[in-house]
Amino acid sequence: MKAKKVFKRLAAAAGIVAAAGIGETVYFYNRTMKRGHADTERTTKMSGTDWEQYFPLMEERKEYALAQEHRDVYITSYDGLKLHATYFPAIKKDSNKLVICFHGYTGEGLSNHMAIADYFLKRGYAMLLPDARAHGESEGEYIGFGCLDRKDALEWIDWAVEECGEDVKIMLYGTSMGGATVLMASGLELPDNVKGIVSDCGFTSPKEVFTHVLNDMYHLPAFPAIPGADLINKRLAGYGMDECNAKIEVQKAKVPILFIHGSADTFVPCSMCQELYDNCASPKRILIVEGAAHAESYYKDMEAYEKALTEFAEEIM
């Protein structure tokens, strides 16, 4: 009888633990992977970057950029979603340079790239600023974390070539999730129009960056939340959280890549950038901005950042 009672108690305890694990997994998944639950303010706090100090510069740059000619454009993704972007034609009408800028997690194309738009527009680039699926004005319920967005990037490249002509020279530029997107795209068969890729604080894979956040920022184990969320995501969103890993994709890269990262990034550790750089098979450059937090490198050392961009562009364009 005692043995039966002990067994029942153990079974009940196991059931409670299992239920708690399921609850933790579902909570993590809904909070992280689904549109409407992933919160910009929460993400900003987690990133650890003090953005308030840069607001005056952002507003000044925004005023300049929005004064230039621009319009909304739309395409249909490979899986039937209506995707949105903002397009800025080149100020210099004879220019054949275009940059496609991919934003970070919970961001939007237009709002996230107003500062860097000053650099690109004044140097003769046309700009295409997509909203990632499940962000901004683009459709979608599940966030792609680069794994799905890299396929959308191919569609935007096709749109750019059709809009700007066969001689257009394209740079892919991305920050954080956008950086992961362009690095994951590097392993695909890209048109010859794509001359180079710039990744600012990109991560290796959703699984690895989530594991880092849970372990280092929340002091929680990755199990069961990450494996559980992976199973849910495969069923609902159609991809595994380590199905596309940027450090594997860059081993297949053919176009030159510029890697940028802040040394003080606690959200996506700088070690990921070094790992990505070490695995890259194509011509490569790297810029580590000392003291820069997540996605802060451009603001922390604008001179070094723009110098690296200009030298890279002169090489690839």
Give the residues across from 51 on adjacent strands. none
The predicted structure's pLDDT at residue 9: 41
For 60-102, what is each residue's pLDDT tens digit?
A: 999 999 999 999 999 999 999 999 999 999 998 889 999 999 9
Series of mean pLDDT values for 10-residue runs along the chain (317 residues): 42 35 77 79 74 95 97 97 98 93 96 96 98 97 96 98 97 98 98 98 95 84 88 93 94 98 96 98 98 97 98 96
Cβ-count burial 1-35 (b if 16+ within 10 Å, e if not): eeeeeeeeeeeeeeeeeeeeeeebbeebbeebbbe
pTM reported for the whole predicted model: 0.91
CA 235 to each of CA 32, 79, 228, 229, 264: distance values in angstroms, whole numbers, following the listed order: 16, 15, 11, 10, 36
Q: Which residues contact 32 (CB under 8 A, 6 or more apart)?
A: 38, 143, 210, 229
Closest CA to 20 of 220, 216, 204: 220
pLDDT digits (tens, 9 = 90+) for 11-65: 333 343 333 357 778 888 888 888 986 667 777 776 778 899 999 999 999 999 9
Nearest C-alpha neighbor of 316 from the set 251, 256, 250, 260: 256
CA distance 102 to 82: 17
Give the integer Cα–Cα distance in Å for 192 and 170: 9
Q: Taking every pair of C-alpha atoms in the chain, what is the biggest distance, in angstroms?
A: 88
Best CA proximity match to 195, nearest among 69, 98, 125, 62: 98
pLDDT score at 21: 53
The whole-chain average pLDDT of the chain stands at 90
> Which residues are within 8 A (CB) of 317 and not within 5 positions of it... i.e. 6 or more apart?
97, 169, 171, 195, 196
